[in-house]
Amino acid sequence: MSTDEKALAVVQEKMVGEISPFLIKSQDLKARAEAQTVTNEREAAAAVALKKEITGHRKLVQDTRLDITRQFDEVKKAIMTKEAEILLPLDEGQTDLGQKILTYQEEQERIAREERERVEKIVLRVTLSVSDTYRFKTVDEVQDEGERFKKLYGELKTEDQKLPDVKAAFTVSINRLQDRKAYLIEQEEQRIEREKLEAQRKEQSEAQAKIDAEKAANERKARQIEAEKERLEREKQRKADEEEAEAARKKRESEEKNRVKTGARTVTKFEITDPLIVPREYCEPVEKLIRAAIAEGKTVEGVRVWTEKKV
């Protein structure tokens, strides 16, 4: 080996030695990535932070390598080989973290979707439309249905009873039954009153019948006022329940907006499937031109285009 070759070897060894210490940090980051779990929001945030730290270390390694290779092109190949060795644990660590993060997010989305479907089924069970109440022809039928609804609601889990949507649906249904009951009671009272007045007219004078009719009207008016008060009170409670349900919905939307942003995105990729039929303007083939054409929505013959998620 000549003197120049020996000197070059010494320089090469020295330059490789300058970048080699980064390997310890890379291996440490990989170990931390493999040990990191992602099962809750706090761990998801920690995983994102570790992922950013890996990216920072990767940039530091690459910048150091570029500084060396600019000055010593002769040892570039050796240094880049060492760089690949150093970055391999980082790639493996980032891939592992990315998969864990995606798996966690998909699981959280599945849980939220199943919970929404479960609540919707409960709401349907405790919902009674206005038209449904028309099938009840007597007060007893209305009371029996009210007892059935209350029993159904009471059999729900305590946490399900407290759900704003469930509570609001149950309250509206009970109010509708109360309205139907009040209507039937009023109809029955009016029927009884009519029969009573008819009997009184047969036994009493026209003047006495008028007095009794006025008295009955006053009593009916008092009952109507009381019934209106009860209706207004139920309406007030219904609005309060609806406002509570709306507040809970906005809270859920706010929580979803504040979830950890992981950097996951969808990217478009392609591969050349038949170079012989690719148009002349892409025959280098120049991937930059092909990618630009795809971005413009053009169809490039001989090129397969697909999308995939990448973290």
Q: What is the mean pLDDT of residues 106-122?
A: 91
36 contacts: CB under 8 Å, gap ≥ 6 = 43, 46, 47, 50, 97, 100
pLDDT at 39: 92
Residue 305 corresponds to which tokens in the numbers above?
A: 């285009």
Q: How many CA within 13 A on the CB side of residue 276?
A: 0
pLDDT at 109: 92
Q: What is the mean pLDDT of residues 128-156?
A: 88
pLDDT at 72: 65
Kindly state whether residues 35 and 73 are assigned to the same domain.
yes
pLDDT at 4: 66
Distance, CA of 237 to CA of 46 (rounded, Å): 44
Average pLDDT, the chain: 83
pLDDT at 56: 92
Angle between helices 206-257 and 164-203 (to 10 degrees): 180
The DSSP element (H or E) to which 307 belongs, if any, is strand 303-310
pLDDT at 94 over 80: yes
What Cα–Cα distance (Å) separates residue 8 from each residue in 11, 79, 202? 5, 13, 132
DSSP-derived letter for residue 257 is H
What domain range includes position 237?
Answer: 126-257
Q: What is the mean pLDDT of residues 270-293?
A: 77
Summarised one tens digit per residue, pLDDT across range 43-63 is 999 999 999 999 999 999 888
Kindly state whether residues 250 and 161 are assigned to the same domain.
yes
Query: What percent of the chain lies above the pLDDT cut of 70?
Result: 89
Kindly state whether residues 230 and 145 are assigned to the same domain.
yes
Number of domains present in the structure of the chain:
3
Kindly state whether residues 142 and 76 are assigned to the same domain.
no
Q: Which of 174-188, 216-230, 266-280 has the lowest mean pLDDT?
A: 266-280
Kindly state whether residues 113 and 130 are assigned to the same domain.
no
- Domain boundary (117, 152, 174) is at 117
pLDDT at 51: 93
Kindly state whether residues 271 and 170 are assigned to the same domain.
no
Kindly state whether residues 109 and 163 are assigned to the same domain.
no
The DSSP element (H or E) to which 204 belongs, if any, is none
3-state secondary structure of 181: helix
- Domain boundary (257, 275, 297) is at 257
Phi first, then psi: what are they for 155, rounded to 5°? -80, -10
Full-prediction pTM beyond 0.85? no
Summarised one tens digit per residue, pLDDT across range 191-239 is 888 888 888 777 776 667 677 778 888 888 888 888 788 888 888 887 8
Q: What is the mean pLDDT of residues 163-184?
A: 90
pLDDT at 74: 63
pLDDT at 3: 77
